[in-house]
Structure 1
Amino acid sequence: MDQVKNTFKVPYEHPLKPNPTYKKSVAYFSMEFALDQALKTYSGGLGFLAGSHMKSAFALNQNLIGIGMLWKYGYYDQGRQRDNSMKASFREKMYFFLTDTSIRFQIHIMGKDVWVHAYYLAPEVFNTAPMFFLTTDTEGNDAEARAISYHLYDADAAVKVAQCIVLGAGGARLLDELKYEPKVYHLNEAHSLPAAFYLYQKYQKVPEVKKRLVFTTHTPEEAGNEKHDIQFLDRLGFFAGVPLDTVRKITGIKDSIFSHSLAALRLSRKANGVSKLHGEVARQMWGSYDKICEITHITNSQNKNYWADKYLEMARQESDVEAIATRKKELKATLFKTVADQTGRLFDPNVLTLVWARRFAAYKRADMLTWDAERFLRLMRNEKYPIQIIWAGKPYPKDEGAIQIFNRLHYLSYLHPNMAVLTGYELALSKLLKDGSDVWLNTPIVTREASGTSGMTAAMNASLNCSTYDGWICEFARSGENAFLVPVAEGADVNKQDMDHLFDLLENEVLPTYYDKPDVWKKMVLTSMNDVGEYFDSDRMAAEYYQKLY
């Protein structure tokens, strides 16, 4: 993505005068950042979280910079085929608000020297920490090298590893090119682990690496904690030139399967899970391994200044439940214009609207409500307590199982005028759905969701969470007071129990409260908005990273 060159000075100096509380310099590495609808460098929750972190770093004047990847085709553009099944499209993205730093350097990937080009996002563009984005789609590279930075989370294992090398080793090399030496290298997930090996090459001592490195693990999911054959990684250049014998010695990984997360835990001085429960799960998950660093927890949060509707927030501050209810209907009407545009359905702002919207992954169980066809039909045709349900979210474009669930939900919606499945779940649509939902549905298998922050931003916008007891919900929800909790399943058939409990909850508590006890509903909404408050605002989270990790 070659553009007109702008003036950019090296050595680089942080443009914001740091608050003395946050003066320690930090470089934050992440494979994805959701900073603005206009910048397609994210896929889902990890990106939303990183984006909120960068916004709070800016608001708090923290001495922090972000390092990410400039994805030529983003994640993908979600649309529909002629038969209305999901279509993943890949269109080149152009960003004229980025500054070309003119910084280019080569790193060894896939057996050859690959050019990496750096672009800069100034803080004032989207009110974020200063950001650097790396691309291999630049002059001097062949087609294979250019393609490294085409697709976020490329389906080809070798390309995905190459992306990690660019982010990690390339990001660390960029800092040297900038003559900018941060005190802390924060790896947001293990994607950027090659930075650790770059630092080892630079300092030749593990304590010097550990002194600088901290690590955030985001998932207990097996697929999220990558493992590869160590020879495969070595051939691709993952270890930044560190000999394999040395890699084994400094990571303690002796066999042929190399765990990225385990190596990160052994080369960092401190790590964290992303909720209280996830911290416990992570310590249990990794506790049997020797020589890992301490794992604490810092609960994920979202940037309230970005997400919260200002009129709802003013009404909350005045405890004006009627003003909240009035504004909520206005926001529902706005969302329903998008529903009508995409699906041809006219939804009613007076009807309870339930939304399930997040990344389509098996453990999140998007279609749980449809597993019992008879009970679902009864719910959708309930004349006493009418309901409207909206689904949205992006399956991984190569995950055929998740895409089939998305398509089945869409085709099922043909039978129900009060059911809609939307496409294009990015920041803008996410904001509309948080604004326009009455109930935010969250159905992960318990202990499988590390944090799951979408319900926070829904609560900021007067939507009540209806959720299984997992992730951040354990630190927030009190059933019947500020949320509706699905009882924790016991025994073998967790899916069946969770589904039955969810239907019971909707039929016997959620819908009757909304229609028969509007004063109780309004009180719950106000309590939820107050409780999500400061603790689940990313300003608290960004401050806590300095206090507990940096």
Structure 2
Amino acid sequence: MKAIRRFIVRTHLPEEISGLSRLAANLRWSWHPQTQALFRDLDPAAWEELGHDPVALLGSFDRQRLTELAADSQLVQRVQEATADLDRYVSEDRWYQNEFSAGQAPSSIAYFSPEFGITAVLPQYSGGLGILAGDHLKSASDLGVPIIGVGLLYQAGYFKQSLSRDAWQQETYPVLDPDNLPLTLLKESDGTPVQISLPIPGGRTLHAQVWRADVGRVPLLLLDSDVPANDDTARTITDRLYGGGGDHRLQQELLLGMGGVKALRQYARLQGIEAPEVYHTNEGHAGFQGIERIQELMEQGLNWEEALTSVRASTVFTTHTPVPAGIDRFDRSLVEQFFQAGLAPAVPVENVLALGAEDYDGGDRGVHNMAVMGLRLGQRANGVAQLHGVVSREMFQGLWPGFDAAEVPITSITNGVHAPTWVSETVSETAMTMFGAAAVAGHDWDKVWEVPDQELWNVRRELRRTLIQDVRARLKSSWRKRGASEAELAWTDSVLDENVLTIGFARRVPTYKRLTLMLRDPERLKRLLLDPERPIQLVVAGKSHPADEQGKRMIQEMVRFTDDPEVRHRIVFLPNYDIRMASTLMPGVDVWLNNPLRPLEACGTSGMKVAMNGGLNLSVLDGWWDEMYDGENGWAIPTASSAASTEERDDLEAAALYDLLENELTPRFYGAEAPAAAGAAGPSTVSAGHDDGLPLQWIEMIKHTIATLGPQVSADRMVQDYVNILYRPAADAGRIADADGYANARALAAWKTAVREQFPGVVVEHVDSLGVSDAPQIGDELEVSAYVRLGGLTPQDVLVQAVYGKVSAGEDASVSEDELTETGQLTLVPSEDLGDGRYRFSGTLLIDRSGSFGYTVRVLPQHSLLASPAEMALVVNAG
């Protein structure tokens, strides 16, 4: 019988244990073992059954059980201590407060992202971008960085993945109930929900309410369009992450960006705090936040250029993909249609469109590119690894014509991972027992050198054993969903072996990540899996986007291989890869495999999580591994030339992968005296045969990995880099631009307009050089003079540079082969009045290298409020 009315009955906790409600509502529990242990001890069986969800756990208790808990004096004391600890955590000074006094750093930073992966209990993420955003907030909380997160609340999150009998990915979208999640609704003082609104085409209005999640001391605001004020279509705008067509996705991103700014304003008003000083756009999805802020300023009387100048000064943009297909690009006419509906009435629609225009060689004039808009709205931008910075500068070089890729103003901050989330409880408890809380809290990674080899190897075996138990349970569940009967599943109880070298591979499944590269030579892989003395075993997982048929076929190929009775005890595919699976998989594997097509991996943080737990990496030199591989912390898979076809690259790199497994990894893991395993058809009884019973070289690599990579891959390091390299300069620039009624923003905007008008008249008329003999030597000085016509500009408006370095040896070599990477400023010679807007600039260059040497001269705009000489994308080179 169906109920005619439904409502939520809130759990009312007795006063003695009322603190449990606060502890459950603050997501700090997701990375705080002591709080997790408190909830687990309330009812261990229910804790497991409910997926480690404190809100659901408390909701499962009836009045009698709550009364019993309140009568437990030891429990009451634990609750009080945990609540007091949370109070200290959210209020005490931390790194940020101790490092910077008032005014030295931004009072708050708004962090916009389309997804946030904080805990499996709040499934608002699909992959690396969301997990990175979640780790960013967690480390910001631990460090005391005053960030406010802004995202969307998706009614069905991403999707749950299962497999059909024939190994085809299937998607389901369970609807989430916000009332049963660790969220609170943002409300006015009279109890009515805060609501923001955006006009959309057809005379309609898109409304949204705002939910708040507390991520430690960081508030996360999530906009939700499923409200009664909306029509049926508008209610589904936030239905699922990365779902729907262009119109649907565009409305999601308008709500995230423009609606997100409106939500921030409401939150600040209710909290009695100032608006954020810095706005960080995590990928292009939230780019429209800049338009909303420009709209606010133009309503106050600033013109377009002035408002854009102010907004750019305090905006940081992070690009996360080197794959053009990964960038959102909307039909230009669709964007125009939405803004003509009155989204930003003070802002000229043509100016909005110009921000996202691909108006450069190779661009598509018919699209609105969200990454391009993000770069044009942010005075500071970064990629997420050093190599990704290089790729990004090349990828977006068209926005800065006349500049070499290396000069494109996109820097790099390499991603990191949140250690308290991703370091296994087994590892952290061992460290706590051996070295104490101070060493663990202080992330003293060097302490690993003091761990006895046997102790470390025991920890690694325990992690592998825990993973295998989890794999068996998940595999059995997956086969049940595929239609297998219990009688068919006895074999799942013995898959994998705790003594066998265990390799993990798990990630999203776009084609460039090459899920099936390991299957390039199936027979050779089988030999590695079934080797009687040195076998390997593989745990594989990953989701393909529902619209990616090629990705789904790759999953099907992989699963069909793992279904083979000959090898299924050695290789498994686990569906529905998520945070909970990762928390067991990454600590439990000995080696993490990553084999994307270089350089298409922006960063890739999974291997970082493995390294923190003592696993080693086996990866193509791409993303973070390109800069952090040192020859002792894992292995680099050689890559073929990018000039080779995809088929040739796959063949060559798969062969290199097999060679490393066969000749490098397995001998080191097992040692030279490994005994024979049991028959290949059944579970192995391999026990590693090593010098002194331990793989001493392998253990040495584990210790080296933890000690050296631990600090480098930490999200604390990453967030500190963002604060020092991007947030503080952006806050300073924003304060300067907006001071005295936006006086500097107005002045800079006027100057930029004048420079753009006059710059076509700038000419380098002639260049002279003196001081070099017929046989120049290292250490000689070259005096360079440039005669420049500036037209309507003054010498103070420009920077005149000599650019010099190595040049091509042959007279017919193309200019593109020159490597002019050094710059020297030429200064105005004031004693010579050449008249008619003509000036002489001179300077001295030191010849500091042998071989072919060359130089040229160029002129760029110069202003103290520009973040980079290339910022305006204007340059005149000597002809």
Q: Same fold (TM over 0.5)?
A: yes
Q: Which structure has the higher relative contact order (CA within 8 Å, separation 6+)?
A: 1
**Distance apart, 1:3 and its partner CA:** 7.7
**How many Å separate the matches in 2 of 1:46 and 1:107?**
26
Q: CA RMSD in A?
A: 2.4
Question: Quick check: 1:527 aligned with 2:642?
Answer: no
Q: Which residue, out of 160, 174, 182, partners 1:97?
A: 182
The range that moved more, 105-114 or 384-393, is 105-114
Contact persistence 2:416–2:605 (CA under 8 A): yes
TM-score, normalised relative to structure 1: 0.93
Aligned residues: 539
**Distance apart, 1:2 and its partner CA:** 10
Question: Quick check: 1:117 aligned with 2:209?
Answer: yes
- AA matched with 1:305: P
**How many Å separate the matches in 1 of 2:174 and 2:395?**
40
Q: Which residue, out of 644, 659, 668, partners 1:504?
A: 659
> Against the structure 1 CA distance between its residues 288 and 454, is the aligned structure 2 distance closer, same or farther, given a 3 Å change threshold?
same
The range that moved more, 187-196 or 111-120, is 111-120
2:171 alignment partner in structure 1: 88
Question: Quick check: 1:203 aligned with 2:297?
Answer: yes
The range that moved more, 377-386 or 43-52, is 377-386
Aligned pairs (5 A) from 1:87-486: 87-94=170-177, 95-101=180-186, 102-111=193-202, 112-123=204-215, 127=216, 129-178=218-267, 179=269, 180-204=274-298, 205-237=307-339, 240-241=343-344, 242-249=347-354, 255-290=365-400, 294-313=409-428, 314=431, 317-319=447-449, 320=451, 321-343=453-475, 344-346=492-494, 347-415=496-564, 416=567, 417-479=569-631, 481-486=632-637
**Distance apart, 1:310 and its partner CA:** 4.4
C-alpha distance after superposition, 1:154-185 (max 9, x if no partner): 13121111111111011011112223511111
**Distance apart, 1:86 and its partner CA:** 2.5
C-alpha distance after superposition, 1:75-124 (max 9, x if no partner): 0012233555322111011343201112112112354211111001124x
**Distance apart, 1:217 and its partner CA:** 0.1
Percent of aligned pairs sharing the same letter: 32
> Against the structure 1 CA distance between its residues 296 and 4, is the aligned structure 2 distance closer, same or farther, given a 3 Å change threshold?
farther
Find the residue that maps to 1:478 and give its secondary structure: coil
Find the residue that maps to 1:130 and give its secondary structure: strand
**How many Å separate the matches in 1 of 2:637 and 2:349?**
49
Contact persistence 1:230–1:258 (CA under 8 A): yes
C-alpha distance after superposition, 1:229-253 (max 9, x if no partner): 2111122349933332222455665
**How many Å separate the matches in 2 of 1:334 and 1:310?**
11
Contact persistence 1:274–1:299 (CA under 8 A): yes
**How many Å separate the matches in 2 of 1:3 and 1:202?**
39
**How many Å separate the matches in 2 of 1:167 and 1:114?**
12
1:11 alignment partner in structure 2: none
- AA matched with 1:25: S
Aligned pairs (5 A) from 1:25-44: 25-44=108-127
Where does structure 2 lack aligned partners over 5 or more consecutive residues? 1-5, 11-20, 22-89, 187-192, 299-306, 360-364, 402-406, 435-444, 476-491, 672-689, 728-879
**How many Å separate the matches in 2 of 1:391 and 1:445?**
18
C-alpha distance after superposition, 1:500-533 (max 9, x if no partner): 1111111110111100161111111111111211
**How many Å separate the matches in 2 of 1:253 and 1:87?**
36
> Against the structure 1 CA distance between its residues 3 and 166, is the aligned structure 2 distance closer, same or farther, given a 3 Å change threshold?
farther
C-alpha distance after superposition, 1:314-339 (max 9, x if no partner): 27624223222101111111111122
**Distance apart, 1:355 and its partner CA:** 0.8
**How many Å separate the matches in 2 of 1:135 and 1:248?**
27
C-alpha distance after superposition, 1:243-290 (max 9, x if no partner): 322224556655332221112111111000000111111111112313
**How many Å separate the matches in 1 of 2:133 and 2:322?**
18
**Distance apart, 1:151 and its partner CA:** 0.8
Contact persistence 2:423–2:613 (CA under 8 A): yes
Which has the larger Rg?
2
Where does structure 1 lack aligned partners over 5 or more consecutive residues? 7-14
- AA matched with 2:535: P
Contact persistence 2:426–2:463 (CA under 8 A): no
Contact persistence 1:476–1:531 (CA under 8 A): no
C-alpha distance after superposition, 1:286-318 (max 9, x if no partner): 123139982111000000111112443527624
- AA matched with 1:536: V
Moved >4 Å (runs of 4+): 1-6, 15-18, 248-254
2:875 alignment partner in structure 1: none
> Against the structure 1 CA distance between its residues 73 and 128, is the aligned structure 2 distance closer, same or farther, given a 3 Å change threshold?
farther
Find the residue that maps to 1:534 and give its secondary structure: helix
**How many Å separate the matches in 2 of 1:362 and 1:500?**
19
- AA matched with 2:590: D
